[in-house]
Amino acid sequence: MKNIVIYSPYPCLVKAGDKEMTINENEHLSLDAIMPIYVYPTGKTKRYSFMIDFNILNSQFYSIIEKDDRVLVFLIDGLLSQNVDIFSFRYNNIDSEIEVSSHEITFKTKEHKKKIYIYSTPKNVECGNFYHIDYSLLKFENGSILIAYNVKNNSAKQFKGDKIELKDNGFTVQSSKNFYDMATWEYKIDKEGLKIKDKTFAMANQKYPFELIPFQFMTAVQNDDTSMITSLLSDEILKKIDIDNIKKYFGHIDYFYMIDYKTCFAISDKQNVIYEFYLKENKIDEIVDNRN
C-alpha cells in the first residue's frame, strides 16, 4: 500500500499499530502503510473516536483520495447523523419525527431514518417544520447550526453561521467567517422545497497576502460570491470562460481543505477533487485538477 498522509482541521491522536502520533490543528502527518488506523480527537470540543477504513473512501468523519504515490486522508470537522425529546409533524399525509438527545439528532418517517451526530453540546435546540422540510436549530456558545431535512427524499442539508434566525417559512444565516465583515444568506421554504432567496456579502476592508488568494477564492466559490470570484481571476481566464461556466466547473463545494497555499482538496458534487492554483500578479491565472 502507498504511503499515507493524514490532514486534520482539529487536534487529534492517531494510533497505527504500536505507534502513537499527534496532529495539531490544520497540520498533517505522514506514516507508512500500517493498519488499522484509529483517530482520537482531542481538545475542548467533544468528538467521537473512529477507525479509518481504507475500503470506505467517503465517511462522515473523513474522505480518502489517491494522488501520485500517496494516499491522502482528510479528516472532516463538522456535524454530519440517538434520542430523548421527540417532536412530531405531519404534512400532506406524511408523518415525521425528530428525536433529540445530547449527542444525536434523528429524523424519521415511516420509510426513512437519518441520524446526525452532535460533536459538542448545544445551549439550546429548537425543532419545527416548514411544509415538507423538518428542521433542527442548534445554538452553541460560538455560533449556530441548522439542519434541514426533506421528509420526501430523506436528504438533509446543514447550515452554519454566527447567528441563524427563523423567519416566516424560512431562515437567515449570518457569518463573519474568513474574509467577510458579514455575509448573510436568506432561505425560503415553500411547497417546492428549500431555495435561497437572497445573499449579501460585506467584504472586510483589508488586504490579504499573496498566499491567501487560493483560500480566498475557494471560500468565494463555496459561498457563491460572484463578485469575489471574478476579482481573484486574471483577465486571461475571464476572457476564455464566463462566470457561469466557472461555477459549473467547481460545482457544489461541501467541504475544502488547503493542503498548502496553492493546493486544495475539495468535496465537489460528492466527488473528491484536488485543485492546483497558479498565480500571476496577485491573480489566479490557471487552475488544474486531478480529474480525468
Q: Which of 80, 71, 78 is nearest to 274 (CA)?
A: 71
Residue 147 region by backbone torsions, left for phi larger than 0, else alpha for psi between -120 and 50, else beta:
beta
Q: Which helix (H) or strand (E) holds 114?
A: strand 113-117
Pull the grid cell for residue 281: 500578479
Q: pLDDT tens across 179-213, in order?
A: 777 889 999 999 999 998 888 888 766 667 888 99
Residues of the chain predicted below pLDDT 70: 1, 43-48, 78-84, 204-207, 292
Q: Return d(Cα 269, Cα 266) in angstroms, integer.
A: 9
Pull the grid cell for residue 286: 490557471
Pull the grid cell for residue 168: 416566516
Give CA separation, 28 vs 9, 45, 130, 145, 189, in Å: 9, 19, 42, 27, 40
Asked if residue 126 lies in contact with residue 171, where contact means CB atoms within 8 angstroms, the answer is no
Q: Return d(Cα 281, Cα 273) in angstroms, integer.
A: 26
Pull the grid cell for residue 254: 461541501
Q: Which helix (H) or strand (E) holds 22?
A: strand 19-23
Q: pLDDT tens across 2-38, in order?
A: 789 999 998 999 998 888 999 998 999 999 877 789 9
| Eight-state DSSP code of residue 80 | -
Res 246: pLDDT: 93
Res 58: pLDDT: 84
List the beta bridge partners of residue 196: 187
Q: Which of 108, 112, 161, 169 is nearest to 138 (CA)?
A: 161
Res 36: pLDDT: 83
Q: Return d(Cα 172, Cα 146) in angstroms, integer.
A: 10
Asked if residue 130 lies in contact with residue 189, where contact means CB atoms within 8 angstroms, the answer is yes
Q: Return d(Cα 86, Cα 185) in angstroms, integer.
A: 29
| Eight-state DSSP code of residue 135 | E
**Residue in this structure with the C-alpha cell 498533517, named with its chain if needed:** 28
Pull the grid cell for residue 191: 411547497
Res 7: pLDDT: 95
